[in-house]
Amino acid sequence: MRPYHRHHSGRKGVTGMALAAVIGEALAVEGYALAGAVVLAADSQAEAAAAWDALPPDTALLIMTDRAAGWLADLLAQRPAFLTAVLTA
């Protein structure tokens, strides 16, 4: 299913598609937009917190750079339903 067709699936029984989001340093995360992920660049702790606040409500997968994961460690407990992944160098 294409991200721009989330509202009308071609498969019976599929009602929607959850989002994948990526938070981290711009150079490390920009390419994920090509795969349809919501990319929120954050080069500082303040920018990471702002990116966290900007996450769409239907985000299911959160991919973070190692630095962003450190910056957001306390906030991750607020949304335990997230499937998370950390990119290592």
Q: Which domains does the chain have, with CATH numbers?
A: 3-9+16-87 (3.40.50.10580)
Report in angstroms the alpha-carbon separations of 11 from 14, 19, 59, 60. Answer: 6, 18, 21, 20
> Is 5's pLDDT higher than 60?
no
At 35, is the pLDDT very low, low, confident or very high (cuts 50, 70, 90)? very high
pTM: 0.80
Q: For a pLDDT cut of 90, what percent of the chain falls above it?
A: 67
Residues in the chain: 89
Question: What pLDDT is attached to residue 81?
Answer: 85
> Is 65's pLDDT higher than 60?
yes
